[in-house]
Structure 1
């Protein structure tokens, strides 16, 4: 089993007083270098305690960007999903909200445009279909004419059969009536 790999092994805690002494020592070193006229890299960045009033006035106008750690400063990359909140001027906000879009219409997405186009096409097709100008409508009308003709023929045939049944029924009744009259006499 390797040494120091298990959980909770070899923890070191720094003493608060030791940290305080270290900060004081670094501060004294900076002060001594400032007095001697030497500058270190931290003072050039503006993170030191002795920054001038000119540096602070230019920093107020510009937005401070945090210094990149590691190779992040060497590689420039842009995250398209990252939204950077930039302060907006009142004049630009009023101009965009009160002004109308250049086209005069609201911009529709591709799906919305396709949906509207689809609805228009179906409405136009229904109109032509109702007027009987489409191939499908013509085929439907021809089929309906054939069906109507067949129904009319079936209705005539049924009517003729009904009349024939009634005629045979009346003939049978007359025959029965004659036969009953002969039997009674």
Structure 2
């Protein structure tokens, strides 16, 4: 029971129609409409025979054909109640499974703009690194020139050190030779 002094009728006894009941009602309505149209046609045929008018008979045959075409398409919502020609309405076209599979296999996966840009960046980076390794980029040329200068400086520094070591050794030999000569040894 609801609490409080005031109660509302809005939340009570909600009943929803299940789809089976709706389908059953729709089927019964179709049967009734078929029976009515059949009985009307029979009565019209009797009247036509009495009058001898053939034009009405041709009209009833065309009505039978259109009603059978309408029965083939299932009506959704209020579509069966109101006849509308919407130029923007796109009707679904049935596709064969074989063509659908071929389309899926042949089509490349659709990527978003960000994914495409990311892939392009990766490709560009890999291409740049390849050119850089081959020494074809401006930065690679500058790096190689800098390396050549550094190698040359290091080679000059090594030669200078070797010369200084040789000079020190020669100076040490000369000093020992002079001391030996001064002492009178050989």
TM-score where L is the length of structure 1: 0.47
Structure that is richer in helix per residue: 2
User: RCO greater where, 1 or 2, for CA within 8 Å and sep 6 or more?
Assistant: 2
TM-score where L is the length of structure 2: 0.47
